[in-house]
Amino acid sequence: TQSAARRPAAVVPIVAICLPVLMAVVAIALDTGMIYDRQRHTQAAADAAALAGAGDLFRTYFDSDSQNNGQDPSGFAANHALAVAAANGYPNDGKTADVVVNIPPKTGPFAGKRGYIEVLITYHQPRGFSTIFGTGDMM
């Protein structure tokens, strides 16, 4: 009967050991969720910016006056893509995000081909709960 009286007290050390581990796992799960959400939003913004720039390239591609042949010499398509990225929360300021517009693309299946545009957005994700493990941006 004496051991039955001591058993409830044995739970306290187990909870004391498991609670910080559980809190760390929850923190990592929340930060991972934030990363995936931001990745989805960043991809959507890059796609919208690329579509805006591609629309400008298409409108002037066959224009005999501009002589651009899919190269965007005036920079109008690139500037429009940057503006759309900024409107979606990704200004090319170096602090929040870095936006690179390549006409023609430098990577992928259309690398070096005229009439195509590539928009790359790098977002600096601040840490949430994982600041207990370190400082600086996560990605």
User: What is the number of domains present in the chain?
Assistant: 1
Q: What is the DSSP string of the chain?
A: -HHHHHHHHHHHHHHHHHHHHHHHHHHHHHHHHHHHHHHHHHHHHHHHHHHHHHHHHHHHHT-TTT--TTS-TT-HHHHHHHHHHHHTT--BSSSSEEEEEESS-SSSTTTT-TT--EEEEEE----SGGGGT--S---
Sole residue written with tokens 């400008």? 56
Is residue 18 a part of any domain in this protein? yes
Q: Does residue 137 lie in a domain region?
A: no
SS (H, E, C) 48-64: HHHHHHHHHHHHHHCCC
In a domain, 84, yes or no: yes
Looking at the domain assignment, is residue 138 inside a domain?
Answer: no
Taking only the tens place, the pLDDT of each residue in 51-69 is 999 998 888 776 656 566 6
Give the range of the structural domain holding residue 8, as residue numbers without chain letter. Answer: 2-132
Residue 44 lies in a domain: yes
Q: With pLDDT > 70 as the criterion, what percentage of the chain qualifies?
A: 83
100 lies in a domain? yes
Q: What pLDDT, in 10s, does the model give residues 117-138?
A: 999 999 988 777 777 766 666 6
pTM metric for this prediction: 0.77
Q: What's the residue count for the chain?
A: 139
